[in-house]
């Protein structure tokens, strides 16, 4: 069920001028998102060595558009996409209004950057990032996050990734990582498999500087429990939440590229490649069944090629697969696909 109390609705409707975004908020966020896209693409081209991003600009008939940048058949990345979009229209889709009913009846604006990178080498993990901003009349919020999907388990990579994200969160609020890390574990969970997609990262949504940090739908989840324990933080202005999102976006390079450098030249064989393609199937399942960004893009008549750029170029399924005991593949399932306290190096097994 969706947790939206009457008090939360009244609070949002009663926003004062102090809690409203600046008049040029759309231009500020749009410029940041475009710069972030360019910064990330430049760094990825350098580490790939040969691959170059191809850009496709597109327009949405109802309003807005974007630019999609795709890299294919590179030295490191088999396929990767880094997309920027900004769209507007007469109303938000039902999937969002069910969670933010106070936005009904308002025109909307949405902008953001999303990326998915599928490396060639099975020892290099897939990574996903998305940061976004919405306005609907006087209602506004930021959302997004980043998560890592390794195919082979390396604890030092997981610790580095989460430690970097925790540092970015802690720079703005001591409780952000405490809530947004378990929220990520909750979000990137394949219910039909009873399995996490990867080792998580951070995830947050509907952050408008008011109310509790957790805005998900599971009232008894670890993220909800931590958020309830914290209570309601003091109100946070638009500028500070924007700064937090900016820090998170800019931390991508530090969080991911050192892992790529460590793993990209490792030798692998057909066995590792087949396992990578099999695990990519989980990525496809999640993005087509659960992913909110995919749903929002399709519901708002976005560009289909850009929306589905997150899917890997090659993938396989295998009936009834079970990893052999005491193998790296088994360790992935037994330890790495279960939520862990990676940032503090506390790891428990099966």
Catalytic residue set: 128
Distance CA 203, CA 58 (A): 28
- For 26, 107, 129, the CA distances from 138, given in Å and listed in that order, are 13, 10, 27
Distance CA 134, CA 99 (A): 13
Cβ pair 85, 131 in contact under 8 A:
no
Distance CA 250, CA 316 (A): 33
- Phi then psi dihedrals of residue 219, to 5 deg: -70, -15
Give me the helices (H) in the chain, please. 6-13, 25-48, 94-97, 155-170, 176-187, 222-230, 238-250, 252-263, 270-289, 292-299, 304-307, 328-331
Under DSSP, the state recorded for 327 is S
């Amino acid at each position: 069920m969706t947790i939206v109390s009457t008090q939360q609705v009244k609070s949002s409707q009663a926003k004062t001028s102090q809690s409203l975004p600046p008049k040029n908020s759309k231009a500020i966020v749009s410029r940041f998102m475009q710069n972030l896209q360019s910064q990330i693409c430049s760094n990825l081209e350098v580490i790939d060595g040969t691959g170059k991003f191809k850009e496709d600009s597109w327009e949405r008939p109802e309003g807005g558009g974007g630019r999609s940048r795709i890299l294919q058949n590179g030295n490191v990345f088999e396929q990767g996409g880094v997309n920027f979009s900004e769209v507007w229209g007469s109303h938000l889709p039902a999937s969002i209004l069910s969670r933010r009913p106070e936005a009904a009846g308002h025109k909307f604006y949405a902008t953001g950057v999303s990326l998915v990178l599928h490396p060639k080498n099975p020892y290099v993990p897939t990574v996903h990032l998305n940061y976004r901003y919405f306005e609907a009349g006087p209602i506004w919020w930021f959302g997004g996050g980043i998560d890592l999907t390794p195919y082979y388990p390396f604890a030092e990579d997981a610790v580095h990734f989460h430690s970097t994200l925790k540092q970015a969160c802690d720079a703005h609020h001591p409780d952000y990582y405490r809530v947004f890390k378990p929220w990520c574990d909750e979000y990137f969970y394949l219910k039909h498999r009873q399995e996490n997609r990867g080792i998580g990262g951070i995830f947050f949504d509907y952050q408008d500087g008011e109310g509790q940090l957790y805005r998900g739908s599971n009232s008894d989840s670890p993220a909800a429990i931590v958020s309830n324990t914290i209570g309601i933080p003091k109100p946070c202005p638009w500028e500070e939440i924007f700064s937090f999102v900016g820090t998170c976006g800019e931390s991508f390079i530090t969080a991911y590229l050192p892992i790529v450098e460590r793993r990209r030249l490792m030798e692998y064989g057909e066995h590792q490649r087949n396992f990578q393609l099999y695990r990519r199937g989980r990525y496809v399942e999640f993005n087509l069944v659960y992913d909110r960004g995919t749903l929002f893009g399709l519901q708002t008549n976005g560009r289909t090629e850009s929306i589905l750029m997150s899917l890997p170029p090659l993938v396989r399924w295998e009936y009834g697969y079970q990893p052999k005991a005491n193998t790296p593949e088994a360790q992935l399932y037994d330890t790495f696909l279960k939520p862990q306290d990676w940032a503090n190096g506390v790891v428990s097994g099966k």
